[in-house]
Chain A
Amino acid sequence: MITIAELAEALGAEMSGDGALEVSGAAEPAAAAADEIALAMQPAFAADLAKGRAQAAILWPGADWRALGLRAAIVAPRARYLLAGVTRVFERAPEIAPGIHPSALVDPSAEIGAGAAIGPYVVIGARVRIGPGARIFSHVSIAEDAAIGRDALLLQGVRIGARVRIGDRFIAQPGAVIGADGFSFVTPTPGHVEEARASGVTAGVITAEEQDAYVRINSLGAVAIGDDVEVGANSCIDRGTVADTTIGDGTKIDNQVQIGHNVKVGRTCLICGQTGVAGSTVIGDRVVLGGRAAIADHLRIGSNVVITGNTGVSSHVPDNRIMAGYPAVRLDQHVEMYKALRRLPRLLARLEEAAAAGQKAVSNPPASD
């Protein structure tokens, strides 16, 4: 239990009413129990407060908590930011026993920092180094020479490949794979892809009838990840060919994201679900890649760029651009293009009308001519 006054202090927010009122958790307004604080950060939730039993709520600025029948309230000037604090206060951390589970296989040469909790069936390879405070859940495997900073949280089934280096406070959701081999193959003579690239946008067919078999290019590099990075469930970050694939500090990656070999992602980027970044592309800082964005290989994406959901990027993007569509263009251009496309059928109808009227005029010249 936490009092409203304590909660407000933890959140760094203003409170009114009975600060001694205790709450055990947070809930949506309509579903809140009497000992829960209702999250009603927008006026739209006012009606729901009456349906629930909360005596306290987090409210939008200017809300009249007394009129809403509450005993106490905390004001949220920036609702979602405050929500982050609320979820920290009421977090239900995943349960893990301290120490190393007897079924875990930890190589004797591995260095595990103080305070680690390592779950069942975890496999930790030779010379792995893990900082203090790690929580490593069941079935995680960490291959030889990988190094992970302090306070890592690796959820069930995470795979960390050999020689991968990761900073502090890393979070990996279940099934994330860091350091699989890059998808990199070559033919002894120039192949279809090279021909397609060389012909640019002019050719639509491949002229060569045969192609030699693909020869594997091994991945000698690893993956280097900064501090405060999170990787979502079943996302994959491939290792580099020679140098490392890199992810900058503070970058957050959603579920089912594919980051190809040699890619360099900057700091505090946000990469949403099902996004794919092909090999050797360099992404700046604070870039947002919307869901299912597809970024081709060997491109430069500037800093502060926003790629909207489902956009396909096939050329370089300068700093500070918002891009949409396939092939990706500036959002304002994209909307203008869409506008023109939507108006096209009526424009064609008018053209046809005009053409029909013109033909009529030619075949039936006025009597005065």
Chain B
Amino acid sequence: MSEAVADTVRDKVMAILAEQAVVAPGDIRMEATLGDLGIDSLGLVEAIFALEEAFDIEVPFNANDPGDSEFDISTVGAMVRAVESLIAAAK
């Protein structure tokens, strides 16, 4: 993945999470957890759907226990990497 594409992925993921957290994208730190951002389980489900739609990917997640999914949601950075690898796998 080129650097420019990686930047776009990161920016889009941050924009989607910012929308769910109702904060400015600039206020999202890569090491922040969803808890830090005040995104609860239903907010996470919405964020995952937004990621699926934005990147045309299918996120393997267990909506009833998101922590138990293959998709790493531990931090914003982890989610960016997880989305990158899903995009790479889809190609």
Contacts and interface: CB of A to CB of B under 8 A. Distances in A.
Contact of B64 (A335, A342, A343, A346): A335
A335 B52 contact: no
B45 A335 contact: yes
B37 to A, nearest CB: 13
Nearest to A339: B63
B27 interface: no
A146 B89 CA distance: 72
B63 A343 contact: no
A336 interface: yes
A332 interface: yes
B45 A346 contact: no
Contacts of B49: 339, 342-343
B56 interface: yes
A331 B31 CA distance: 31
Contacts of B45: 335, 338-339
Interface residues of B, number: 8
Nearest to A336: B63
Interface string B37-72: 000000001000100110010100001100000000
A332 B64 contact: yes
B63 A346 contact: no
Classify chain A's interface size: under 10
B53 to A, nearest CB: 7
Contacts of A331: 64
Contacts of B56: 346
Interface in A320-356: 331-332, 335-336, 338-339, 342-343, 346
Contacts of A346: 52-53, 56
Nearest to B38: A44
A336 B62 CA distance: 9
Given A336-B63, A338-B45, A339-B49, 12 more contacts: A332-B64, A335-B45, A335-B63, A338-B63, A339-B45, A339-B63, A342-B49, A342-B52, A343-B52, A343-B58, A346-B52, A346-B53
Interface of A: 331-332, 335-336, 338-339, 342-343, 346
